[in-house]
Amino acid sequence: MLGGPSEEREVSLKSGAAVAKALRSAGHIVAEIDPKTDEWKLPKKTDVVFLALHGAYGEDGTVQKRLDKLGVSYTGCGAEASRIAFDKVLAKQKFIESGIPTARYEVITTPSAHWVRGWNPPVVLKPARQGSSVGLQMVYRVEDWGTALAESFRHDTLVLMEEKIEGRETTVGILGGEALPVVEIRVKKGVFDYHNKYTPGASEHLCPAPFDAATTAKIKTAALGAFHAIGGRDYSRVDVMVRPSGDPVVLEVNTLPGMTEVSVLPDAAAAGGLDYVSLCQRMIELALLH
């Protein structure tokens, strides 16, 4: 399944095309389904659905619920874990309950909200239920608050405000319940937003990330903790900031991470000795266990 109705449709089409090509090269018979509406049907004798969807419908538990009803195996996290991870507020609550280090935050419920008392810039604004940094806004001055907030609210009815963590940006792929080599992301210009995520050459991935063994272990532990906190299964990608002190801060869990040629999870798998085709095959094997 690729494409779908979300704001991340174009990226999903790229992920799906790459996955379909890989699976065919491994000898599988592959049908491509684009669920633009809820009217889709699976081909008869479907063994497993590879979810290359991103964003709403594909990553928020909706399609997973329907596949559960159909009794068909699918890749990635189950419906409830997907729903929790996709909602940044629910995910935050799970992190805090489980003692996972995460950024200080507030939930903003209206685009007319004033600057929150007791806070100083810089802060980050994120639509609560979007992926791929859609609607992400950095606020460095209080006077820019209104414009940034309005932009974030264009993408959802709830916005998460977080402290901006200063430090190094990392992400940890999880496959079969184990952490893959840590990836450090260095953006050439600006922040790791939608443009920089999906434009070849806009950012570089250092894998394995150049941290000492103790810091690497802390990052992996925080990522796995976050994955378990939301009830994850099979695979995900966890975004973790690392403060100058070496302390990790979990940002979010991505339950259907990108699978394009510039995506991070395939890079991490390759560093762990798994090429792209083998990674896709492993994802299918994990799905068939459920």
Catalytic site residue from 254, 263, 267, 276:
254
Active site residue 166: no
Catalytic site residue from 196, 237, 263, 276:
237
Active site residue 151: no
Catalytic site residue from 82, 239, 263, 276:
239
Query: Rounded to an integer, what distance in angstroms lies between the CA atom of residue 211 and that of residue 178?
Result: 19
Catalytic site residue from 131, 252, 263, 267:
252
Active site residue 252: yes
Catalytic site residue from 258, 263, 267, 276:
258
Active site residue 196: no
Catalytic site residue from 4, 8, 59, 82:
8
Active site residue 278: no
Active site residue 132: yes
Catalytic site residue from 57, 74, 198, 276:
198
Catalytic site residue from 132, 133, 236, 263:
132
DSSP string, the chain: ----SSTTHHHHHHHHHHHHHHHHHTT--------SSTT--PPTT--EE-----STTTSSSHHHHHHHHHT-EESSS-HHHHHHHHSHHHHHHHHHHTT--B--EEEE--TTPPPPTT--S-EEEEETT--TTTT-EEE-SGGGHHHHHHHHHTS-S-EEEEE---SEEEEEEEETTEEPPPEEEEESSS-S-HHHHHSTTSEEEESS-S--HHHHHHHHHHHHHHHHHTT--SEEEEEEEE-TTS-EEEEEEESS---STT-HHHHHHHHTT--HHHHHHHHHHHHTT-
Active site residue 198: yes
7, 178, 168, 179: which is closest to 86 by C-alpha? 7
Enzyme catalytic residues: 8, 132, 198, 237, 239, 252, 254, 258
